[in-house]
């Protein structure tokens, strides 16, 4: 049987009766958008992360662009961001007319903090950190720099639900932590969903007003907002998944530990988590100089893989206007040519794990 890069059905069947009961309850409730399930989820998720507030939104991208907007960042402003992130992080900046300033990552795929200071100008307003692949970024130096230069700090936690640095969860280090609950994420809904977490009372209120057409009271619009509401079914289903998040994370950590112990091939470089950080293994990303031949080799053994991501944002067709060219971020570009995400998902059998390990070891 083919091993796919991800199997979202397994995560569903694991708690099938709980999910189905919750969906039925919401369908029968007669209330479908922004209700009790959403507010309960917001309370439970902020308790889990360790922030005062959580505001449910329609997607991870919405969490990012609305965070940038409500922190007052726009045209003429610069935001520092890592060059190897998913393009959504960058869109969160450019959708507000602000300019992304890219920084190369370090060996753990996180933003290289030692390269931030030289890129700070009088236009710099914020640093955006992506905890990529489920690995928490080393945050101490970044937090220090943001304090020193009075910069906002936004965390893209779309891949890092539950990952910690020095015992603190990602999403708690900056002004706003942005989460996606897209179905393939570690805490996945069954459609689009997202949220922000934060400690600032006023800002939390602003997110609530903004997500619902800028109205606090129905049909009294204070500001020009957007429609970025979270619906009751997604919130209810997320509550079910959140109640099992510890065992779900533990399961992925175990698979990753097995990969790290048992994959032994000089041609393959295994991922390394930064000092003081943990990973929740949204992806298990290996590096290989003969990556494309490896993909084919695994494909012949019926093992599917993915590349996160083949084209860095600065080289994306969509961002030609930024004026970058090949060679501007050599390490990021090298990573894009050598990284490979191997199958890792909840409900992956030991047999499937063994098949992946054997295939990689025999390459």
Ligand X SMILES: *Cc1c(COP(=O)(O)O)cnc(C)c1O
Q: Is 312 in the site for ligand X (CB under 6 A)?
A: no
Asked whether the CA dihedral 260, 82, 116, 334 is positive or negative, the reply is: positive
- Residue closer to ligand X by CB (options 184, 215) is 184
Q: Are 313 and 132 in contact (CB under 8 A)?
A: no
- Give the list of residues 6+ apart from residue 234 with CB closer than 8 angstroms, or none: 181, 189, 190, 191, 192, 193
194 is a contact residue toward ligand X (CB under 6 A): yes
Among 182, 259, 281, 319, binds ligand X (CB under 6 A): 182
Nearer to ligand X, 77 or 155 (CB): 155
Strand 284-288 relative to strand 339-342: parallel, antiparallel, unpaired?
antiparallel
Q: Toward ligand X, which CB reaches closer, 100 or 194?
A: 194
Give whichever of 86 and 281 is closer to ligand X, judged by the CB atom: 86
Binding-site string for ligand X from residue 67 to residue 86, where x marks contact by CB under 6 A and - marks none: ------------------xx
Token pair for 276: 């003081």
Torsion-angle region of 80 (φ positive above 0: left; ψ -120 to 50: alpha; else: beta): beta
Which residues are paired to 56 by β-bridges? Answer: 195
- How far from the centroid of its chain's Cα atoms is residue 304's Cα? 22
Least separation in angstroms between CB 116 and ligand X = 19
Backbone angles phi, psi at 286, to 5 degrees: -100, 165
Number of residues that bind ligand X (CB under 6 A): 15
Question: In the set 158, 204, 348, 360, which binds ligand X (CB under 6 A)?
Answer: 158
343 interacts with ligand X by CB under 6 A: no
- End-to-end C-alpha distance for the chain, whole angstroms: 20
- Alpha carbon separation from 159 to 70, 207, 280, 325 (Å, rounded): 22, 21, 8, 28
Residue with smaller CB distance to ligand X, 177 or 236: 177
Whether 74 and 96 have beta carbons less than 8 Å apart is answered as: yes
Closest by CA to 55, choosing from 193, 152, 161, is 193
Q: Which of 77, 112, 156, 352 binds ligand X (CB under 6 A)?
A: 156
With binding defined as CB under 6 A, does residue 26 bind ligand X?
Answer: no
Among 88, 142, 273, 356, binds ligand X (CB under 6 A): 88
Least distance from C-beta 192 to ligand X, angstroms?
6
- Using the minimum distance from each CB to ligand X, give the nearer residue, 84 or 355: 84
| CA torsion, ordered 83, 84, 87, 89, to nearest 10 deg | -70
Give the x-and-dash track for 110-139 against ligand X (CB under 6 A).
Answer: --------------------x---------
Instruction: Identify which of residues 162 and 359 has a Cβ nearer to ligand X in the complex.
Output: 162
Q: Is 249 in the site for ligand X (CB under 6 A)?
A: no
The verdict on 159 binding ligand X (CB under 6 A) reads yes
Of 5, 11, 56, 60, the one binding ligand X (CB under 6 A) is: 60
Tell me which of 6, 46, 82, 89 binds ligand X, using CB under 6 A. 89
Q: Which is nearer to ligand X, 61 or 294 (CB)?
A: 61
Q: Which residues contact 151 (CB under 8 A, 6 or more apart)?
A: 80, 120, 124, 125, 126, 127, 145
51 lies in the site for ligand X, by CB under 6 A: no
Residues that bind ligand X (CB under 6 A): 59-61, 85-86, 88-89, 130, 156, 158-159, 180, 182, 192, 194
């Amino acid at each position: 049987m083919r091993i796919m890069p991800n199997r979202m059905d397994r995560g569903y069947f694991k708690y099938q009766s709980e999910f189905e009961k919750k969906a039925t309850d919401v369908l029968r409730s007669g209330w479908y958008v922004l209700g009790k399930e959403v507010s309960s989820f917001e309370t439970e998720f902020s308790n889990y992360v360790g922030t005062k507030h959580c505001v449910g939104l329609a997607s991870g991208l919405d969490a990012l662009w609305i965070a940038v907007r409500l922190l007052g960042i726009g045209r003429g402003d610069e935001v520092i961001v890592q060059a190897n992130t998913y393009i959504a992080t960058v869109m969160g900046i450019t959708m507000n007319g602000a300019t992304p300033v890219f920084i190369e990552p370090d060996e753990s795929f996180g933003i290289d903090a030692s390269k931030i200071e030289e890129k700070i100008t009088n236009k710099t307003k914020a640093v955006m950190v992506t905890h990529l692949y489920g690995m928490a970024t080393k945050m101490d130096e970044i937090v220090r720099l943001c304090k020193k230069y009075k910069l906002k700090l936004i965390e893209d936690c779309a891949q890092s639900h539950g990952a910690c640095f020095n015992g603190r969860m990602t999403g708690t280090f900056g002004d706003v932590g942005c989460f996606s609950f897209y179905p393939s994420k570690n805490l996945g809904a069954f459609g689009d969903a997202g949220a922000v977490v934060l400690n600032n009372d006023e800002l939390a209120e602003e997110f609530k007003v903004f997500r619902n057409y800028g109205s606090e009271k129905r049909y009294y619009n204070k500001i020009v907002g957007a429609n970025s509401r979270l619906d009751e079914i997604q919130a209810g289903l997320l509550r079910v998944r959140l109640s099992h998040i510890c065992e779900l994370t533990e399961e992925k950590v175990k698979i990753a530990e097995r990969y790290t112990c048992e994959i032994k091939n000089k041609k393959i470089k295994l991922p390394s988590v930064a000092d003081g950080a943990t990973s929740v293994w949204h992806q298990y990303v290996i590096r290989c100089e003969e990556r494309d031949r490896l993909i084919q080799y695994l494909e012949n053994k019926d093992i599917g893989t993915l590349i996160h991501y083949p084209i860095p944002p600065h080289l994306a067709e969509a961002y030609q206007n930024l004026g970058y060219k090949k060679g501007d971020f050599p390490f990021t570009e090298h990573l894009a040519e050598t990284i490979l995400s191997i199958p890792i998902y909840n409900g992956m059998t030991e047999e499937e794990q063994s098949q992946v390990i054997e295939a990689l070891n025999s390459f």
